[in-house]
Amino acid sequence: MEPLPLTLLFLTLLGYLAGVVASMACLRAGKTANLCACCIAALAAVSGVAASVTGLLSGAAGPHDSVQILPALLPYVHFSIRPDPLGLFFTLIVSLIGLAVAVYSLGYNRQFLGKKNLGVFGAFFNSALLATTLVFLADNAFFFLIAWEIMAMSAYFLVSFEHEKEESRNAGVLFFVMSHIGTGCLILGFLLLFKASGGYEFDGFHAIGATMAAGPRNAAFILFLVGFGVKAGVIPVHIWLPVAHPAAPSNVSALMSGVLIKTGIYGLTRVFFDFMGAPPNWWGVTVLTLGIVSAVLGVLYALMEHDLKRLLAYHSIENIGIILTGLGTALMFLHSGHPLLASLALVAGLYHTINHAVFKALLFLGAGVVVHATHTRNMEEMGGLVKRMPRTALCFLIAAVAISALPPLNGFVSEWLTYQSLLQGFGTTQSLIRLMFPFGGAMLALTGALAAACFVKAYGITFLAQPRSECAARAEEAGWQEIAGQVLLTLACVVLGLFPAQFVRLLDPVTLQLAGHALSSQLSLADGLVLAGATPSGGTVSTLGLSLMALCLVPVPLALWWMFSRGTSVRRGPTWDCGLQGLTPRMEYTATGFSKPIRMIFKALFRPRREVQREYDFSPYFARNLRFESHVEEVFQTRIYRPLNWLVWRASRRMRALQAGSLQAYLIYIFATLLLLLVFAL
């Protein structure tokens, strides 16, 4: 590794550390603390972006040495980092999102001034960024787990930052519990790897899977899948995600959805492609299936949500599913001996990782502004915001187009790459399992269509038409800091969408490291203007060309209009209201109404329950009052987690008999155990 990126990396880490210290130093001065924390975090993040980009551009080949950043205190525990391409790529993601969120927080956090301690916020914000960066760079399992836990703790405190709300406290606890279940699995997984390699260095874990027996190897696969899956929010271990994301302040939601859940993806990629190697077929099939299930169910639940932030949280599950689809496909290709296609699928997955980080963070930032302005997260009480906050509306629109995978933005590019790898998979094997590929592609298409429908709803109900409540009518645009944070990510969306062939060069060292192929030369045609499907049978697409063509076509209707409108006069009138006394917000299409057809189609899944109560005087057709309630069952909560919860409670009630509440009794338990063990040892 060249010295420059390494120096920049150290600067980044020290910067975040300085951010923690500075925020702690001015605990009592909220304004200064916020200024310090956000500015320092932003600077450190800039350095992180520079470090990872230069590192990825220069460090294509060669070994990557690990560097001790703290002296080792105990055997096996080395505080060493190894900036290899995979780690650097994820560092790029965390730095980019960290930068935008830091800038945004400068303004957004002003609402907490005088109410909450912003020094605490700044400290945990910086420590979350620091720990996440270390998670991506750590070269030792212990160090990794330490960083992992610091990250989880910081996130916990950030989620429950508004701890005076019961919702935030509960969300924090749920996150905490789920996160620890995951960490437990990770510890067991690393112990299995330790047994095989005799050390805790990630370097020693490289391709360790090949030397392991099938039993421990598969056990390690499942443990890591669950452990990292919890953090990534893969269905069915996703339940913390739609609870924690809405409860957190929106800048934290952006950080969590953009970066935190990507640590799960990082872990899965690291384990599957770096540690394990040569996967059995069922691994790939499992990951692909989980990906498809998460994608489809995630978007379906998102469609049913009227809480803007919960909707976005469910979309995170969907997008994690799309990323897993890429990773699972890559695993299947590795199994069937197609490293080139595996690289393509990996590029698709990783590309979607950074894309999702960018547009989801952007959507959460936008939602933050909206929620702050309207004092509600319920979309049914918004509306008409495009006139009140045009800049936020534009950024939100671009992000919505990106997440709906519409060309020419970034979501389209990565989903297109995913389709390419899925479609080319059909020919790689003769077994029936190849049907997975077209099926996956079909499900992905369904997901894309539903996501587009969902964002038509999210954008339309929130920003268009007339305001549905007093608060929405009085909403105000945010300050320049919030806008700057959003614009930054909007630009990233556009750049990642228009110049994919240039961007995949950054992914070259990553795929070279993990699957043995650098793809950028095969992926770009015509000097990088056109993105190709890497193999001769693959398709081609040019987002830049599409947008240029669109730009060229704009003058045509303008010219036609100009030609035919000469001599006619323009008259402006009110919107046609069917002869009623003017249009009111009560006549607007509601979010519930909009998603009704889909609720009906997927009735078996949603089990919708609705309740209508009429109060009338003489005829039911002239109701005085109408109460309408509609619910969607959350299958995983009611069918899996509630029975599980009940079992745990019952078991712990049984255990209560042991808890006499007397210190002596506890001591006797321990003492008796100790004596028994000693006597047996004799």
Which of the ranges 135-143, 248-256, 587-595, 661-669 carries the binding residues for other proteins, by CB under 8 A? 661-669
Rounded to 5 degrees, what are φ and ψ at 624?
Answer: -80, -45
Q: CB 659 → other proteins: shortest distance, Å?
A: 7
Q: Which is nearer to other proteins, 604 or 681 (CB)?
A: 681
Q: Which of residues 32-91 bind other proteins (CB under 8 A)?
A: 73-74
* Smallest gap from residue 666 Cβ to other proteins (A): 9
Backbone angles phi, psi at 78, to 5 degrees: -115, 130
CB of 672 to other proteins, least distance (A): 10
Per DSSP, the three-state class of 251 is helix
Q: How far is the CB of 609 from other proteins (least distance, A)?
A: 36
b/e per residue 2-18 (b: at least 16 CB within 10 A): eeebbebbebbbebbeb
Nearer to other proteins, 207 or 660 (CB): 660
What's the closest the beta carbon of residue 79 comes to other proteins, in angstroms? 14
Toward other proteins, which CB reaches closer, 449 or 675?
675
| Residues in contact with other proteins, shown as a per-residue x/- string from 433 to 452 under the rule CB under 8 A | --------------------
Site string for other proteins, 614-653 (x = CB under 8 A): ----------------------------------------
Q: Based on CB atoms, which residue is closest to other proteins, 600 or 672?
A: 672
- Binding residue (CB under 8 A) for other proteins from 445, 558, 660, 676: 660
Q: Which of 353, 349, 334 is nearest to 517 (CA)?
A: 334
Cβ distance to other proteins smaller for residue 549 or 667 = 667
User: Site mask, other proteins, residues 662-681, x = CB under 8 A?
Assistant: xxx--xx-xx--xx--xx-x
Distance CA 681, CA 441 (A): 61
Return the structure tokens found at 210.
């090949």
Q: Least distance to other proteins from the beta carbon of 169, Å?
A: 20
Which residue, 565 or 659, has its beta carbon nearer to other proteins? 659
Site pattern 131..160 for other proteins (x: CB under 8 A): ------------------------------
Q: How far is the CB of 658 from other proteins (least distance, A)?
A: 12
Backbone angles phi, psi at 279, to 5 degrees: -80, 150
Q: Which amino acid is at 349?
A: G
* Cα(40)–Cα(418) distance, integer angstroms: 37
Closer residue to other proteins, CB minimum distance, 601 or 674:
674
Give the contacts of 184 (CB within 8 A, at least 6 positions apart). Answer: 227
Instruction: Build a one-symbol-per-residue string for 319-358: x at contacts with other proteins by CB under 8 A, - elsewhere.
Output: ----------------------------------------
Measured in degrees and rounded to the nearest 5, phi and psi for residue 60 equal -65, -40
Q: Which among 268, 265, 267, 284 is positioned nearest to 338, based on CA atoms?
A: 284
Count the residues of the shown chain that bind other proteins, applying the rule CB under 8 A. 18
Q: Pick the closer one to other proteins by CB: 624 or 656.
A: 656
- Closer CB to other proteins, residue 177 or residue 675? 675
- Nearest alpha-carbon partner for 121 in 39, 253, 30: 30
CB 261 within 8 A of CB 316: yes
Rule CB under 8 A: which of 520-579 touch other proteins? Answer: none
Contacts of 327 (CB under 8 A, 6+ apart): 265, 268, 269, 272, 287, 291, 345, 346, 349
Provide, rounded to whole angstroms, the least separation between the CB of residue 94 and other proteins: 31
Q: Which two tokens stand for residue 379?
A: 């979309």
Quote the least distance from Cβ 160 to other proteins, whole Å. 24
Rounded Cα gap, residues 267 and 281, in angstroms: 20
- Give the nearest distance from C-beta 670 to other proteins in angstroms: 7
Provide CB contacts within 8 A for 509, sequence distance 6+.
56, 59, 60, 61, 85, 518
Tokens of 39: 């500015």
Q: Which is nearer to other proteins, 442 or 667 (CB)?
A: 667
Which CB atom, from 521 or from 673, has the smaller least distance to other proteins?
Answer: 673
Type of residue found at 266: Y
Q: How far is the CB of 419 from other proteins (least distance, A)?
A: 54
Stretch that binds other proteins, among 100-108, 214-222, 388-396, 654-662 (CB under 8 A): 654-662
* Beta-carbon count within 10 A of 406 CB: 17
Helix (H) or strand (E) holding 530: strand 530-532
Q: How far is the CB of 668 from other proteins (least distance, A)?
A: 6
Residue 450, both tokens: 């539903």
3-state helix vs strand vs coil in the chain, percent to 5: 75, 5, 20
Residue 658 as a binder of other proteins (CB under 8 A): the answer is: no
Instruction: Give 378's strand partners.
Output: 307
Cα three-residue angle 437-441-443, rounded to 5 degrees: 115
CB of 78 to other proteins, least distance (A): 14
CA within 13 Å, CB half, 382: 31
Q: 89: closest CA among 116, 121, 51, 61?
A: 51
Binding site for other proteins (CB under 8 A): 73-74, 659-664, 667-668, 670-671, 674-675, 678-679, 681-682
